[in-house]
Amino acid sequence: MKRFLVIACVACLAMSVRAAETPKQGLGVHIGWAQPILRLNDPSNPSTSKDSLSNITKLKGLKVGVAYDGSIIKGFGASMGINYTFAATNTGWTKKNSSQPTLYPQVQDKITYHEVEVFVDWQYKFEVAKETYLMLYSGPTIQCGIAFNSRRDEKALDGTITPAIDGIHRYTTTDADKVLKRMNVTWGVGAGFQYQRYFIRGGYDFGLFSPYKNDDFSNGNHARGRLDQWQIKIGMYLWYE
């Protein structure tokens, strides 16, 4: 009888520990801020190294998506899902050439960017209080560009505005300078906070490949760069158990 009671107690204890460590999972939605950063060398400047990403274009926009969050063992798991990002920028009117003695002509760049992405973040959650977690995560993201539209206008001294260049950066089937690939792969690192069903996550994604189709520097006129991204998302799990 004593042996039976000991076995029963051990079994109950094991079941309770297992129940306490049962991995949680959830399905949620999020919305947030994104800042894609297009880094570009300056192929028109002979003194610039092909590896020096001296020109930086920062876009600001919105990110929305859905995510599945699942634990493999207590604390360790993954968050995966799909995002849509829209971002844009307007540089305002600046001198066409910084070395020119007069203010005119001036140029202005307008850029809009649309893309969808599939991400997988491996994460670890530290339970700091009941149903309250701090998390660290890292993982890859595959981005697919839908549209990258850019236009440069030129303004003369009399105020006349003409489109100087249409499509500084764009998606096309050619391999011309500054033409972008639709596919990009990044690796992100970040941190977050979760309370019950609500969470906030933020981090930085590093571009792993040059986003430009033609990065042959044999004639010194082609582009090489990297497409990175800052992001902060807030959201909630519609289902979490």
Where do the structural domains in the chain lie, given as residue ranges? Answer: 24-240
Residues 82-108 have a mean pLDDT of: 82
The mean pLDDT value of the chain amounts to 79
pLDDT value, residue 171 = 63
Encoding tokens for residue 225?
A: 């760069």
Give bridge partners of residue 185 from the DSSP assignment: 142
Nearest to 46 by CA among 172, 219, 213, 192: 219
Q: What is the mean pLDDT of residues 172-185?
A: 70
Is the previous residue joined to 43 through a cis bond, with omega within 30 degrees of 0?
Answer: no
Q: Does the structure show a pLDDT above 60 at 217?
A: no
Output phi, psi for 33, to 5 deg. -105, 140
CA 208-210-211 angle, to 5 degrees, is 110
Pick the CATH number of 24-240 from 3.30.420, 2.40.160, 2.60.40, 1.10.20: 2.40.160
How much is the average pLDDT of 138-157?
A: 87
Q: Residue 81: its pLDDT value, please?
A: 96
Q: Has residue 19 got a pLDDT over 80?
A: no
Confidence class for position 215, pLDDT limits 50, 70, 90:
low
Rounded mean pLDDT, 214-225: 59
